[in-house]
Each structure stands twice: as C-alpha cells, then as structure tokens.
C-alpha cells in the first residue's frame, strides 16, 4: 500500500478527467453523417483546430533531468494517442489534463512527490506533427526513507529461538533509512525479505500488511511491513511421479533429500540439481507438499521425465587454446549386467585427441558410489607429442559443497619428438578433495574454492621406485565495493579474484615418472599471454618438457561496467598472471602475463574475453572462454 499524507488534488478528479478525455477522443472516431462531413468541409478554411491528415496528430517533448525524462518518455500514456491523426487542438488539450495527473503518478513511483509540471501546446508548422505537447518537469526533492518497521506474526514471532532469524531478516532489508524511496525499491525490498523468510523453515510465509506513509512536505517515507510466517516445516519422504525404468529407491539415493531436517529451499534445489545432472532424466522438478500435510513431515514431490536409455550427442566448439573442436558423446544409462551408467566421449581438436569412458554406479545410502574409467589421449605437451593412457577405479562422493574420491590409477605415457624423454608407466593410490564455497557456482562474486590431490605409488618402467604427487589449487573472490547506476536503484559488486596453484612430484632423480603426472601450464585458465601448456621445465637443448614442480599465481580486478548511467551485463577486468614449472624448485623461472579483458553475463553463462601480453614471449594473445568451473 502507498499512502500520501498530503494531497493537493482530490483523488477522483484525475480519474474523472481521464474518463472524459477517453470518451471525447472516442467520439472523434465515430462515423459521421454526410451533413456533418459537409459542415466540416465547409469550415476547413476558417478553423485552426482542424488536424492534418496522413501523420501524427502531435509530438511530445519532455524537458526534465535525463533519468526522469527517459522514464516519462517510456511510460506516459499520452504517447499512445499520437498516432490518431484526426485529433484536433481541443482534444489534445483534454488529453494534456490527464497527462499531468499521469505524470505526477509516474514521478511518485520514482520518489518525487512535490514536482512542478508545466504543459504547453505549441504549433509546429513544418514539423513532423502540426503540434507539440511540451512538458517541463521540475521534479523537486527526492523522498528518502525516514524509518522502517518490520514485524512478524505466527510461529516465527512466538518462538524465542527464532530471534536471530528475525534479526537477520531485519538486517537484510534493502531499503534502509536515508536511502531514496521509489516504488520499485519498495516492492523489491518487500519481495526480497519474503524470499528470505520462505527460504528456510517457513515456506508458506506471506506479507500480512504493508504500508508506505509519504510526508510530501518533508519528503520523507515511513515504511512498515508485517510478515506472517506460517508453520515451520520439515522434510518428509520423497514421493516420485513419472518414473518407469528406475525404481523410486534409486531416485531417492540420487536425490539425497535430507528427510527429517528443517525445510531449506537450497537443500531442495541441491537435490533437484543432483537428479537433473545425473543424466537419468530429461526433466526434474521437486516441490514441498504443503497442502493438508503434517508440517513436521511434509512430503517432497519429485516429478520426473526419464531420459532415453541411450543417447548420442555431437558437439562443435572453439577455444583460443586449441582452436576448433569436435566431440561425440555416447551415454548408456543402464549397461547390461552391472546396471551402471556409462558415458563415453571422443574429442578432436588441434592439440588434443582423446577417447574415454567413465562408468558410475548409483550412490549407496551414504552417498558413496563406485566408478571406473579409461582414457586414451594424444596431446601436444611442451615441445613434444605425448600418447598416454589411464585406468581408474574407486569410490567417490558429492555432498553439499564437497566432493571426495579415493581410487587406484594406472598411467603410461609415450613421448614423441626430437630427443624425447623416456616413456614411462606407474601405479598409484589417489585421494582427492574439493570444496566449493561460492555464492553462485556458475558465476561467483564472493567465496572461495579449494581442491587438493594426494597420490603415492611406484614407477613400473625402468627401476621400480616410489613417488608421491601433491597438487593444490585455490580461487577466491573478495568484494571490492559496489558500483551503482545513475539513479542508485541498482548496484553490483566489484571484486578482486585471486588464484593460486602449486604441485610437486617427489621421487628419486632416476625415477621414470609418466609425463602426464608431471606439470605444464599456460593458457586460458592458467597463465594468460602464453600458449596452452607451453610453460614447462627447460632441457639443456632448449626443449620444453613437463616438470616436477609447479607454481601459479594470479590477481584480477573486476568492475561492473556502467553505460549512459545504467548498469550493464558487462564487467571490465585487469589482471596479472605469474607461473613457472621446473624439475627442481631452485630452477623455477616465473613467466608473467598482463592484460585487460571483459566479462559478459550471457544467457548461457559467463563469457570471458582477455587480451594478454606475455612479457617473456613479447606477444599478445586473445583468450576467450565460456563458463566458470572449479
């Protein structure tokens, strides 16, 4: 509800004027009798009110501050009547009366409650239209929020343990005292707090009352909202609809809805995402059933549509690292005997050709699943072409923000080129852990991610010797202030992105380690300004090989881009990347890349475009990448 304390004009008068204008303008469109037509024809030479046919009846010119002018030009209702080319000056004057009331209402929504408006009708001979409605707007002072009162009713108000939740909702209110009041900001603040309320424990929450009291004389707005929480809910059993091939118990283990836990919208979305990304379904929709159910055990309804048993997908892509790419994917959702899901992929591009397959079982009740995979690959690594193979088998688990894996791995690598390193193979036991703590997994603006890999094993080529492999990577986003549009109704966070990688293979110097277990860097996602996997250890003859030690660091500043006073879907960025690879830590030489770029929040995901200069190579490189993965 929006209530103005002081009103200069009765509320019914603009409505009466507008109704009269519409009625009178409609009369001008009624069919005329011959006598009437004759009368009008006879008076053409003497009446200044006769319109000019074949064009617009009038033009509208608004003189006001830019943001006000743009808003009125988009929304003023008088604009709709310009195309009626049979309107005369008298009818246009009547429309102007309604236009003044309409303009005041529109200015109110922006926070201007004491504007001064002047409307004039001018003749414009020789113009696009015979007349012009000139509107001069002095918007007056902006109305600011003087106080905000947020109250609650229902269980959230009665439960002493919900005090922290009530305080969090009040602290999260976006339209604070001292800020400019607008209808959009008022509506957005109410809606955002309601979303926060219904996101946990209280899915049936609603706005019980809301009121904005406007004191036009003092240009102040006092806001009040009362939220009704409704009962607190807990997750009940999963009820599956639409399944045919897969039993409900398997779907339950894939979704992992936390039955018995307090309702959490994010937990429900995570369960839905697990089902959607499992590959078993073409569509998935999870909802909490709040109709005539026990709030302490509300059923979760899973509406699914199963995917075909087998599917082949052809893909074409392009990366600045490896050029054009062709891929063929085949999936089988229930391979014979095992009943596991198998996904196989053939990938061909300029530098890499690979053929791999991965088989996964449905998770058990603890979320762990068995898996096995095989990969054959030929790729350019440093100065050589490496043909390699890899076999894995073990267990993995994805729970919340954390992925874990434990597996046995066999590797072999054969190097081709001038004076290549010896071919090698190895067997190892591997443990992996990845934690993602971002505000948005697809396009994060704050938070961090950490990945750690530990492996220990024996070389199988030449002398059999033990080795250990450690690899860690980290990325973090730190807010660096907010950037607002011209009228301060929208804002987005600037941020600093920090990135680091480190790796080490520890073994005797004579141990023959497969080059695929060693390290190379450079390219779109590591050290920009250098070619893909072109930074490695340097042999005495100048050849580049995969090395045993890796270090990479990057700092990047991203700032939302404002154009003509409006926030856009683009960010500008500047960055510095540093990285190096060596066979011994003391031989590490850092390669530095610097550059600028842009980020676009496209409908299909973030697009990253960077122009980087490799200081060591003294070359510019363009890097383009779609999406964010960690």
Q: What tokens does 132 get?
A: 């012009």
Q: How far is CA 298 from CA 254, 259, 270, in A?
A: 20, 9, 18
Q: Cα separation of 504 and 511, whole Å?
A: 14
Q: Cα separation of 376 and 355, whole Å?
A: 5
Q: Cα separation of 222 and 14, whole Å?
A: 26
550 class by beta-carbon count within 10 Å (0-12 exposed, 13-18 middle, 19+ buried): buried
HEC per residue, 513-557: CCHHHCECECCCCCCCCCCCCCECEECCCCCEECECEEEEEEEEE
Q: Cα separation of 403 and 423, whole Å?
A: 32
DSSP summary character for residue 68: H
- Confirm if 165 and 193 have CB atoms less than 8 A apart: no
Which secondary structure element, helix H or strand E, spans residue 347, and what is its range?
Answer: strand 341-349
pLDDT along the chain (630 residues), means of 10: 38 38 38 37 34 68 90 90 79 88 90 90 83 90 94 92 92 92 92 95 96 92 96 96 93 94 94 93 95 94 96 88 89 93 95 95 93 96 93 93 96 92 95 95 91 98 96 96 82 94 96 96 95 93 94 97 90 97 93 96 90 95 88
**Which CATH homologous superfamily contains domain 2-34+48-138?**
membrane protein fhac (3.10.20.310)
DSSP conformation letters of 34-49 = HHHHHHHHHTTTT-TT
Q: Cα separation of 16 and 14, whole Å?
A: 5
How big is the chain, counted in residues? Answer: 630
- Confirm if 227 and 204 have CB atoms less than 8 A apart: no
Which secondary structure element, helix H or strand E, spans residue 12, and what is its range?
Answer: helix 12-27
CB within 8 A of 542, min separation 6: which ones? none
288 class by beta-carbon count within 10 Å (0-12 exposed, 13-18 middle, 19+ buried): buried
Q: Cα separation of 539 and 520, whole Å?
A: 14
The whole-number pLDDT of residue 36 equals 39
Q: Describe the strand order of the beta sheet including 144-153 as a list of residue ranges.
A: 2-4, 206-215, 220-228, 144-153
Does 363-626 match 144-228 at the fold level? no
164 class by beta-carbon count within 10 Å (0-12 exposed, 13-18 middle, 19+ buried): exposed
DSSP conformation letters of 252-297 = HHHH---TTSBPBHHHHHHHHHHHHHTSSEEEEEEEE--SSS-GGG
Q: What tokens does 13 get?
A: 């008068």
Q: Cα separation of 221 and 215, whole Å?
A: 6
CB within 8 A of 311, min separation 6: which ones? 329, 330, 331
Q: Is residue 380 left, alpha or beta, with left meaning phi > 0 and alpha meaning psi from -120 to 50?
A: beta
Using DSSP, state whether 162 is helix, strand or coil. Answer: helix
Gyration radius from the chain CA atoms: 34
| Residue recorded with tokens 């014979």 | 336
Q: Is residue 54 left, alpha or beta, with left meaning phi > 0 and alpha meaning psi from -120 to 50?
A: left
The candidate with the shortest Cα–Cα distance to 142, out of 117, 169, 114, is 114
The candidate with the shortest Cα–Cα distance to 203, out of 226, 234, 174, is 234
What architecture is the 144-228 domain classified under in CATH? Roll (3.10)
CATH of 363-626, one of 1.10.3210.10, 3.40.50.720, 3.30.70.20, 2.40.160.50: 2.40.160.50
| CATH class of domain segment(s) 235-306 | alpha beta
Pairing of strands 131-138, 59-63: parallel
The whole-number pLDDT of residue 34 equals 38
The domain locations on the chain are 2-34+48-138, 144-228, 235-306, 363-626
The candidate with the shortest Cα–Cα distance to 450, out of 471, 479, 430, 428, is 471
Pairing of strands 549-563, 544-545: unpaired
DSSP conformation letters of 91-122 = HHHHHHHHHHHHHHHHHHHHTB-S-EEEEEEE
The candidate with the shortest Cα–Cα distance to 514, out of 409, 383, 617, 422, is 422
Q: Each residue of 416-446: pLDDT tens digit?
A: 988 888 999 999 999 999 999 999 888 899 9
φ, ψ of residue 532 to 5 degrees: the values are -65, 120
Q: Cα separation of 49 and 91, whole Å?
A: 9
- Confirm if 426 and 517 have CB atoms less than 8 A apart: yes
Pairing of strands 116-123, 537-538: unpaired
Which secondary structure element, helix H or strand E, spans residue 195, and what is its range?
Answer: helix 183-199
- Confirm if 499 and 600 have CB atoms less than 8 A apart: no
Which secondary structure element, helix H or strand E, spans residue 251, and what is its range?
Answer: helix 248-255
Q: Cα separation of 164 and 337, whole Å?
A: 53
DSSP conformation letters of 559-624 = EEEEETTEEEEEEEEEEEEEEEEESSGGG---EEEEEEEEEEEETTEEEEEEEEEETTTTEEEEEE
Q: Is the pTM of the predicted complex or chain greater than 0.75?
A: no
Indicate if the alpha-carbon torsion angle 590, 591, 592, 595 is positive or negative.
Answer: negative
Q: Cα separation of 423 and 416, whole Å?
A: 9
Q: Cα separation of 583 and 382, whole Å?
A: 14
The whole-number pLDDT of residue 583 equals 94
């Amino acid at each position: 509800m929006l209530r103005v304390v002081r009103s200069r004009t009765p509320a019914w008068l603009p409505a009466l004027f507008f109704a009269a204008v519409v009625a009178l303008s409609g009369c001008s469109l009624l069919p005329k009798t011959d006598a009437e037509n004759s009368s009008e024809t006879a008076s053409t030479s003497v009446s200044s009110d006769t319109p000019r046919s074949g064009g617009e009846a009038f033009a509208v010119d608004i003189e006001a501050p830019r943001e006000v002018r743009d808003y009125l030009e988009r929304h003023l209702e008088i604009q709709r009547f310009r195309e009626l080319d049979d309107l005369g000056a008298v009818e246009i004057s009547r429309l102007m009366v309604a236009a003044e009331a309409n303009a005041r209402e529109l200015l109110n929504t922006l926070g201007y409650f004491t504007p001064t408006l002047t409307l004039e009708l001018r003749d414009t001979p020789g113009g696009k239209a015979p007349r012009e409605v000139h509107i001069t707007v002095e918007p007056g002072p902006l109305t600011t929020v003087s106080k905000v009162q947020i109250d609650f009713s229902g269980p959230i108000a009665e439960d002493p343990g919900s005090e922290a939740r009530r305080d969090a909702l009040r602290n999260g209110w976006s339209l604070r005292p001292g800020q400019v009041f607008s209808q959009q900001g008022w509506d957005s603040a109410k809606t955002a707090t309601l979303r926060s309320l219904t996101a946990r424990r209280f899915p049936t929450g609603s706005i019980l009352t809301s009121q904005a009291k406007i004191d036009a004389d003092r240009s102040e707005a006092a806001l009040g909202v009362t939220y009704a929480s409704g009962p607190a809910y807990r997750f009940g059993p999963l009820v599956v609809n639409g399944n045919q091939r897969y039993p409900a118990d398997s779907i339950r283990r894939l979704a992992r809805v936390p039955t018995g836990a307090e309702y959490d919208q994010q937990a429900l979305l995570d369960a839905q995402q697990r089902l959607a990304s499992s590959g078993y379904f073409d569509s998935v929709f999870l909802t909490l059933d709040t109709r005539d159910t026990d709030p302490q055990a509300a059923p979760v309804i899973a509406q699914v549509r199963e995917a075909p048993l087998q599917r082949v997908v052809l893909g074409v892509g392009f990366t600045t690292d490896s050029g054009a790419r062709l891929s063929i994917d085949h999936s089988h959702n229930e391979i014979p005997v095992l009943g596991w899901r198998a996904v196989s992929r053939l990938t061909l591009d300029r530098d890499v050709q690979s053929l791999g397959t991965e088989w996964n079982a449905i998770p058990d009740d603890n979320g762990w699943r068995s898996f096995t995979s095989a990969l054959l690959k030929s790729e350019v690594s440093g100065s050589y072409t490496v043909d390699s193979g890899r076999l894995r088998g073990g267990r993995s688990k994805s729970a919340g923000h954390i992925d874990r894996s434990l597996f046995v791995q066999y590797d072999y690598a054969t190097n081709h080129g001038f004076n290549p390193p010896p071919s090698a193979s190895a067997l190892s036991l591997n443990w992996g852990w990845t934690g993602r703590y971002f505000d948005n997994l697809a396009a994060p603006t704050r938070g961090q991610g950490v990945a750690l890999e530990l492996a220990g094993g024996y070389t199988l080529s030449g002398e059999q010797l033990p080795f250990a492999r450690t690899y860690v990577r980290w990325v973090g986003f730190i807010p660096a202030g907010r950037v607002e549009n011209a009228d301060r109704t929208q804002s987005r966070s600037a941020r600093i992105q920090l990135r680091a990688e480190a790796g080490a293979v520890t073994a005797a110097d004579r141990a023959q380690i497969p080059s695929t277990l060693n390290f190379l860097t450079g390219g779109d996602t590591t050290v920009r300004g250098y070619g893909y996997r072109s930074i490695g250890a340097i042999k005495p003859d100048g050849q580049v090989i995969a090395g045993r030690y890796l270090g990479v660091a990057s700092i990047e500043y991203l700032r939302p881009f404002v154009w003509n006073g409006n926030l856009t879907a683009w960010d500008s960025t500047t960055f510095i990347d540093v990285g190096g690879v060596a066979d011994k830590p003391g031989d590490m030489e850092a390669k530095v890349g610097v550059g600028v770029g842009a980020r676009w929040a496209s409908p299909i995901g973030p697009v990253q475009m960077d122009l980087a200069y490799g200081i060591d190579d003294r070359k510019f490189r363009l890097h383009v990448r779609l999406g964010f993965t960690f």
